[in-house]
Amino acid sequence: MRYVVAITGASGAIYGIRLLQELKGERILVMSETARAIIPVETDYTVEEVEAMADQVFDDGQMFASIASGSFRYDAMVVVPCTESSVAKFACGIADTLISRAVSVCIKENRRLVLVVRETPKSAIMLENELKLARLGVTILDANPGFYPRPQTVDDIVDIVVGRCMDQIGAEHDLYRRWE
């Protein structure tokens, strides 16, 4: 399996980091400049340590990267965390960065695309942008953990959200206790 993981500048970089740690198969990473600034502020990881978790890393400005083309094959893309600013770009078809171009390609090629949105509360504009994308087949997965697995730590909460994300792209995991 081959996955594209994009980390944007929303709070919650740990979700993207944890997903990189858990995915089996080839992991292609692209991070926005804001994500690069947020990672050392919010986590104990350096940008270099996060990049080392991926098999291939692209800069968000590399518009000629393989993931910018519909002919490049991969199984799913996850934008985690995903800013509402990014959602707005995606909904309007703006493809001015590698992340937004790769999302545009995902949509036009009808590939699995999951946006782990990390924003609350949401305005009507945000909800309309998400609805527009959902109608195109994009999975909108708010970073809202369930509490039936009885999380005890922040890591447990992160694992629930990341596990739900992995469920959406068909990746096996045992990150949390499922509902019985």
pLDDT value, residue 69: 97
> What was the pLDDT predicted at 179?
85
Domains of the chain (ranges, CATH numbers):
2-136+143-168 (3.40.50.1950)
pLDDT of residue 89: 98
pLDDT at 180 over 90: no
Question: What confidence tier does 111 reach under pLDDT thresholds 50, 70, 90?
Answer: very high
Helices (H), 43-97: 47-52, 84-92
Mean confidence (pLDDT) of the chain: 97
* Burial (CB count within 10 angstroms: exposed 0-12, middle 13-18, buried 19+), residue 24: exposed
Work out the average pLDDT over 60-80: 97
Mean pLDDT to the nearest integer, 159-166: 97
- 163 pLDDT exceeds 90? yes
Q: pLDDT per residue over 23-45, tens digit each?
A: 999 999 999 999 999 999 999 99
pLDDT digit string, tens, across residues 84-101: 999 999 999 999 999 999
Interval 12-26: pLDDT, tens: 999 999 999 999 999
What integer pLDDT is reported at residue 37 of this predicted model? 98
Q: Which residues contact 130 (CB under 8 A, 6 or more apart)?
A: 87, 91, 115, 117, 122, 140
